[in-house]
């Protein structure tokens, strides 16, 4: 039997106001929630065991079989399930053509210091990365290459931002990520015997010549400033990605993918 959907039609409804506010970091911090747009992403979050706080479906999609199935799954776990007019779905998603399904999930916070590092682990470390689109894309890359996880060092942008979740294409649910200061990262990686290979304009070794077969962290710097000298001084290897064109740098997400796939290639794509 299909569970009854709660009908909301007013933009002044408290739930609608809360969901609309989740585009702001302050609201995400206060509520501990974040938005995932689209049935595929919501399904992925549920399959990965993330807790769904509320599920919103647009009126025009409520009768679709896949939406009804998702509503049944969500309702069976105690999730609040709501139907709204299409215009309200657009207001929540801040898009003219919103997805048929929008889920508000509870965030998961992890500390770098609490992570376990298996003997064969390979990680991406991001130092003060500011662009949520880059962060989401890097989560997706790490997921595709079967990495151990992504480390957010010092003040990085929010992985639970709408832009970051969209760019991750669902990998926000599947790839572990954790936050901490640089000092916490250093203590953790030293204790775990992880070597650090950083991409840098000061690199002296081509990225293809660095040894990624040993337990490692691929460290990437801020989009504009890169890594500060004091951070580079703690790295085991500074890698240089060869470039021969007119551009003097790669986009951060592109450079991270180049480093990641070289490391994975060296491990025979295991």
pLDDT tens digits along 204-232: 999 999 999 999 999 999 999 999 999 99
- The model carries a pTM of 0.95
How far lies 250's CA from each of 119, 141, 146, 223, in Å?
Answer: 31, 16, 23, 10
DSSP for residue 245? S
Residue 244 has what pLDDT? 85
- SS3 at position 257: helix
Would you say 197 and 212 are in contact if contact means Cβ atoms under 8 Å apart?
A: yes
Residue 1 has what pLDDT? 64
pLDDT in tens, 120-166: 999 999 999 999 999 999 999 999 999 999 999 999 999 999 999 99
Residue 221 has what pLDDT? 98
As its CATH architecture, domain 112-266 has 3-Layer(aba) Sandwich (3.40)
State residue 12 phi and psi, 5-degree precision. Answer: -90, 0
Q: What is the pLDDT confidence band of residue 3, given thresholds at 50, 70 and 90?
A: confident
CATH of 6-106, one of 3.30.2310.20, 3.30.1330.30, 1.10.3720.10, 3.30.70.3040: 3.30.1330.30
Give Rg (Cα) of the chain: 21
Domain(s) labelled CATH 3.30.1330.30 in the chain stretch across 6-106
Region 88-98: what's the mean pLDDT?
Answer: 86
User: What are 11's two structure tokens?
Assistant: 């933009």
Residue 111 bridge partners (DSSP): 179
State residue 52 phi and psi, 5-degree precision. Answer: -95, 120
Domain(s) labelled CATH 3.40.1280.10 in the chain stretch across 112-266
> Token match 């990998």: residue?
171
Q: What is the pLDDT confidence band of residue 249, given thresholds at 50, 70 and 90?
A: confident
Region 180-197: what's the mean pLDDT?
Answer: 98
């Amino acid at each position: 039997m299909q569970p009854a959907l709660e009908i909301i039609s007013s933009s002044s409804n408290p739930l609608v106001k809360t969901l609309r506010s989740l585009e702001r970091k302050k609201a995400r911090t206060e509520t501990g929630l974040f938005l995932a747009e689209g049935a595929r992403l919501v399904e992925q979050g549920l399959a990965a065991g993330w807790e769904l706080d509320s599920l919103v479906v647009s009126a025009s999609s409520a009768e679709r079989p896949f939406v009804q199935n998702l509503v049944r799954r969500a309702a069976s776990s105690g999730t609040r399930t709501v139907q709204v007019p299409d215009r309200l779905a657009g207001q929540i998603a801040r898009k003219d053509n919103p997805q048929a399904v929008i889920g508000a999930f509870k965030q998961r916070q992890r500390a770098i210091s609490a992570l376990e590092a298996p003997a064969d682990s390979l990680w991406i470390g991001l130092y003060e990365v500011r662009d949520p689109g880059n962060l989401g894309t890097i989560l997706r890359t790490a997921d595709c290459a079967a990495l151990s996880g992504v480390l957010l060092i010092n003040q990085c942008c929010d992985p639970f931002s709408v832009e970051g979740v969209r760019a991750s294409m669902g990998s926000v649910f599947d790839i572990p990520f954790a936050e901490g200061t640089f000092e916490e990262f250093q203590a953790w990686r030293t204790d775990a015997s992880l070597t650090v290979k950083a991409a840098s304009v000061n690199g002296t070794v081509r990225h293809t010549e660095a040894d990624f077969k040993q337990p490692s962290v691929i460290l990437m710097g801020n989009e504009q400033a890169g890594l500060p000298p004091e951070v580079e001084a703690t790295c085991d290897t500074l890698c240089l990605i060869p470039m021969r064109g007119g551009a003097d740098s790669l986009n951060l997400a592109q450079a991270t993918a180049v480093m990641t796939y070289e490391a994975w290639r060296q491990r025979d794509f295991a």
